[in-house]
Each structure stands twice: as structure tokens, then as C-alpha cells.
Structure 1
Amino acid sequence: MSDVPAGGPANGPAVSREEFDALFASVRTWGRWAAADRGAWNRVTAEHARRATATVRDGTVVPMARPWDTRPGPDNAKPALHYMSDLGDVQAPEPSVHKDFLAADYHGKAVTHLDALSHVAYRGRLYDGRAARDHVDAAGARFGAVSALGPLVARGVLVDLPAVLGVEWLEPGRAVHARDLVAAEEALGVTVGDGDAVLLRSGALRRRRELGPWNPDAASAGWHVHALPLLAERAVALLGGDGDSDVRPSPVEGLHSPVHALAVTAMGVPLLDNLDLEPLSAACAEAGRYAFLLVVAPLNVPGGTGSPVNPVAIL
């Protein structure tokens, strides 16, 4: 089920920078939409949202955010903050109140978050060919900010590859190819289509809970860049997963996160990172279906390059 030659590396085949640049040009959608800072979310119309609601049958609601993680670890170099700012000391008039403070450097491997189009630049360019230096500075992003996206209501599709392969998880470093997606569609009885949000389960959270944390910057299961043309052809609106979508080590010479560059910068497809897909995997298996209503509501942060989120699937 893989495009990797027998005996080749799990994250392969290797891709040269020249080949990557040709691939980038082939999937690029610059100039396609007037509301360019919404990118591929322009594909999701009111009709798409209405059709997505038709996937709801029994009303099972599955949240997909990981717990707010304040503990340092190999996959959490910059832990989130949570502390009490008011302990409710009784003062007139009643009632007393309790308050807390939250903060996170969320573009990492521990916080469930959405990457907006301003998050990734390639060769100095954001999505739609905008010069990054002209549109992002210390005050934030003036193009491609998360505030331009707003909430997404769309059909979600879970590509549950461990379930297809009969394994508990994909080992870190295992690339997912176009052939894997096609085989998963056949096995799971679902087809990725226009305006869909595609969520890739590698089983990373199950592996972490059973074997302990590791550094996903060094090794993670995820899409190989050769899978992106098929996802572009299917006209997806969003990619997400229990990692950050990229296989690591990267198969592309000189690029740490090539799928980020292809999806966000070339295709205008926002990314959902660090989802907990274990409950959704169980719910989809029990229901016998892998398409559902997906709701993603990022914080309205003007100039923000993304947002912590708690995406919800409704079956």
C-alpha cells in the first residue's frame, strides 16, 4: 500500500528541491478567489454546509482537542500556561468569583490548533504570492489572518489508516501516500470530495499513551508530498491529523515541513494540528461510517497566524 520501494526508507521516496518546486507550482491556486485570505475555505459554501448536516444520524458529538498541556516534555518544549488569577476571596458584595489565566505558544506539537494562511511562507511568499515581509510583522498578519477564516462547517472524512492496515498505529517516520488514501477510501466506504475536511489518523496519541512521548519534530507519521496532488485534485478545504500532517524526517531536501508549504502556501488549505482522533476512530468504527459533520471555530484574533481550537465531529 505504499509508494516506497522495497527496502527503501519509510518516509521516502526522497524528493529533490527542484522536484518539490515543480510540485508546488502544479498544485498552486494563487489568484483563484477574490477573498484570497480565506484560501480553500472559499470552497465551502452554504450548500456544502447544508449537505454536511445530512451526515448526522444519531447525534453523537466527539470533541477532538487534546487537553491543555502545561507539562514540559520532548513533544512540548513550550508548555501552555494555566494559573488562577483570582481565588474568590469574599468581598462585599457577593458573590465571590474565581478566575484563571490561559496562554500558549500554540504552534507546536502539544496544543490542538488551526494554522491560518499567514502561518507559512515559502521562498518569502505567503499564499496568493503575497510577500511575507510586507504582510506579517511584529503587530501580526495583515493578510491570511485567522480572523479572516471564521468558523468552518463542512463534511469531515476520517482517514483511519491504522484501522485499514489492522495495526494499532503507524510508526513515526512512516509516509502516507496517495495509494494509501485510495485504499483507505475503499476499505472505509467513503470518498474524499470537494470542500471536504480530511483528517488523517496515524494513531500517534495511542502510541504516546502506551509507549510515552517522543520528539515529533524528529520523527512523525504523515503525508508524503506526492500525496498532495490527489488531495488538490479532490479540492479539499482543510487537512488535519493527530500530528501536523508532515512526515518526518522530511523526504524533501532542505525543507523541514514541505506539506505545510504545499497545503498552506500553495493550495491555501489551512491545517488542523495535534488532534486527538482516538475517540473519533472508535465512534466511526461503531457507527460503520467515516464521514461526519465537522465544526471548527477558531478564536477571532485579528492578525493571528492561527488559533487554539476544539474541533467537534457530529455523527
Structure 2
Amino acid sequence: MGANARTPQPADLAPAEFQQLYERLRRHADHGPDDRRGALNHITAETMRAAAGEVRLGRSVSLAAPVETVPAADNPKPSTHDMISSPAEHRHKPGLNFAYDRLAMNIHGDADSHIDALCHVVYEGRMYNGVAAGSAEPDGTPALSIDVAHDGIVGRGVLLDIPRLRGVPWLEPGDHVTTADLTAAEAAQHVRVGPGDLLFVRVGHRRRRNSLGPWDAAAARTGLHPTALEFLAERKVAVLGSDGNNDTAPSLGVAFPVHVLAINALGLHLLDYLQFGELRAVCEQAGRWSFLCVIAPLRLPAATGSPVNPIAVL
């Protein structure tokens, strides 16, 4: 396919079709009425031990993009980094001195790498597993905050490279990744997504941004088609991440359908705006698209998400 190639686009979902899909996925996520971990339940001691066997090269790779502090079309209110006391200030001072700084950021922006907590999406007044929006746990902490993952997320990561499959550098905004794309990428990369896996889907958002410059990603971006969430549910995927937002814009019918279906229906933590350039190169060279992956959100007991720096170990 050429650089502007697009696969035939799936039809929009009518509101009734979306609701039926939502209910089907909710049934897939039946971990009991008191469950707060969602799809993380698919990660077990056995899957973690097996994931450790993926380490063969002894090489670690970050999946996060550098935090941005300069306004851009997709990031009009970037993070602020204040150097309160820089190392240079102490160059000629005797004895012990400290440099220190402060960072403030919008966790759920359209540029910085982050993880969405299960409380991030409220649909029809409810969060994952029917928990009422604004509910608290018995200890008083907000229900379904990112603290659900305070012990970290460890498992086998799998990278499915959709631009590689289609023979293009990136997918254009408005395009969709379908179930057919995911299964075809598995076959082309000789890998199969399984229970407890941390699935990363490359759409080429970062490469397009680096090549063409930032654009209003809130209005136009590439993501998964809502029906592809059935693939994730059937395979018992534990986490979904992308170098984009995971949702296509403009969306099909319901706004942010993948966020609603993944987070609210399936209890699936999402990682948005990651960076796969180095990982893709290492996987291509090694001829292997699976690896040990460690995701460590910050300890933010009341937060709807966290900045994140996932580490792939090959």
C-alpha cells in the first residue's frame, strides 16, 4: 500500500448498536460486584512469571515520550517545569548545596504519556462495575482511582504495529484499527495476544507528529474501532496502550467510544500518547514483538490517572 493507503472504513455504530456492544462487554468483565481491579484480574502470578521469561537481550526501553513544556496545537496548556534552584547557581558555592524543581501537568492531555484510572470515565452516572460516580472506599479513598494499580502492573507486553502491517509510515487521522487489523498484525508478526497481556497498538501518531508537526489531535486522530474491543475482551487483555489516544476522532456516534467501552465496561486501564519508535526498532531487529513490561503509576490515591513511563525489557 502507498503512504496514503486506507483500509475500507467500518460503518458508524447506531446508538442502539453501541449500547448492545457496551452490555456485551460488561458481561465479559464479570469479576464480582465488589471488584475494583477490572481487567488487571487477568494478570496472575503465573502470567507474571511467564512474562519474566521474555527477557533475552537484557535491554530496557522506555515507552513514554518526554514531558513537554512548550505550547503546541495539541497541547495548548503544557506542563510547567520550574527550576527553583538550578545546579548552576551553586557552581561557586562551597560545601553542600541542593538543586530542586517543581512540575505541574494536565494528566489527561493530548501530548504527554499517561495512564487512565478506572474512575476517569463516567457513563450514565456510573463508573466501572456500576460504581456510582464519586463513591469512596471504606477507608475514605475515592473508588477506582489510579491507586488501584499502586503495586504496579507487570506482565507480557505485545506490540502490534498497524502501519507496518499496511505498509505505511502512519495511519491518517480519522482512520480506524479494526479486529481484522489486529489479527492480521498478529499473523504478520508471529505473535498471539493472550490472557493477562499488556497490548500496545501502534498507529504511528508520534511519527506523524514528529514528521509534520503537532495538530489539533482532539479533533482529528487515529484509534481503534469500537468493535475491536471485543477482541480484547475475548483475549482477556489486561491493559491497552497506544501512541495515540486509543479513540479515533471524529468519533463514531458516542464520544470517546473506546474509552467508554474499555474503561467503563471492561475495567481496562488505558495508556495514551506513548512512544514506540525505539521499541519498534528493537523488536524488528530481534524478530520478536513480545517483552516483559513494567508500568508504575505514581502513588496518587485520589487521582483519575497518572503520568507514566512504561518500561519494556527484552
TM-score, normalised with respect to structure 2: 0.91
Partner of 1:18: 16
**Uncovered stretches (5+) of structure 1, i.e. residues with no partner:** none
2-side partners of 1:122 and 1:239: how far apart? 19
Question: Structure 1 pair 17/282, CA: closer, same or farther in 2 (3 Å)?
Answer: same
1:143-186 deviation per Cα after TM superposition (whole angstroms, max 9, x unaligned)? 11111212011001001011112211111111010011110000
Matches within 5 A, 1:1-315: 10=9, 12-28=10-26, 29=28, 31-33=30-32, 36-87=35-86, 94-135=95-136, 142-150=142-150, 151-251=152-252, 253=253, 255-315=254-314
3-state DSSP of counterpart to 1:245:
coil
Letter of the aligned partner of 1:295 in structure 2?
V
3-state DSSP of counterpart to 2:37:
helix
Question: Structure 1 pair 7/234, CA: closer, same or farther in 2 (3 Å)?
Answer: closer
3-state DSSP of counterpart to 1:192:
coil
Question: Structure 1 pair 92/73, CA: closer, same or farther in 2 (3 Å)?
Answer: closer
Question: Structure 1 pair 55/7, CA: closer, same or farther in 2 (3 Å)?
Answer: closer
2-side partners of 1:83 and 1:224: how far apart? 40
Q: C-alpha displacement at 1:235, in angstroms?
A: 0.5
Letter of the aligned partner of 2:14 in structure 1?
S
Question: Structure 1 pair 133/96, CA: closer, same or farther in 2 (3 Å)?
Answer: closer
2-side partners of 1:292 and 1:221: how far apart? 25
3-state DSSP of counterpart to 2:36:
helix
3-state DSSP of counterpart to 1:62:
strand
1-side partners of 2:80 and 2:15: how far apart? 39
1:86-139 deviation per Cα after TM superposition (whole angstroms, max 9, x unaligned)? 236569983111101011011011111110101111111100101114459xxx
Letter of the aligned partner of 2:16 in structure 1?
E
3-state DSSP of counterpart to 1:183:
helix
3-state DSSP of counterpart to 1:171:
coil
RMSD: 2.2
2-side partners of 1:179 and 1:92: how far apart? 63
2-side partners of 1:305 and 1:153: how far apart? 20
Q: C-alpha displacement at 1:250, in angstroms?
A: 0.6
Aligned positions, number:
304
Letter of the aligned partner of 2:242 in structure 1?
G
Question: Contact 1:37 / 1:145 at 8 angstroms: preserved in 2?
Answer: no
2-side partners of 1:274 and 1:99: how far apart? 28
Letter of the aligned partner of 1:16 in structure 2?
A
3-state DSSP of counterpart to 2:240:
strand
Question: Structure 1 pair 281/30, CA: closer, same or farther in 2 (3 Å)?
Answer: closer
Question: Contact 1:141 / 1:305 at 8 angstroms: preserved in 2?
Answer: no
Q: C-alpha displacement at 1:46, in angstroms?
A: 1.5
Question: Contact 2:118 / 2:128 at 8 angstroms: preserved in 1?
Answer: yes
Question: Contact 2:294 / 2:311 at 8 angstroms: preserved in 1?
Answer: yes
Question: Structure 1 pair 141/19, CA: closer, same or farther in 2 (3 Å)?
Answer: farther
Question: Contact 1:30 / 1:129 at 8 angstroms: preserved in 2?
Answer: no
Q: Percent identity between the aligned chains?
A: 45
1-side partners of 2:17 and 2:33: how far apart? 30
**Uncovered stretches (5+) of structure 2, i.e. residues with no partner:** none
Letter of the aligned partner of 2:17 in structure 1?
E
Letter of the aligned partner of 1:216 in structure 2?
A
Question: Contact 1:80 / 1:106 at 8 angstroms: preserved in 2?
Answer: no
Question: Contact 1:75 / 1:109 at 8 angstroms: preserved in 2?
Answer: yes
2-side partners of 1:52 and 1:73: how far apart? 38
Question: Contact 1:118 / 1:141 at 8 angstroms: preserved in 2?
Answer: no
2-side partners of 1:58 and 1:201: how far apart? 22
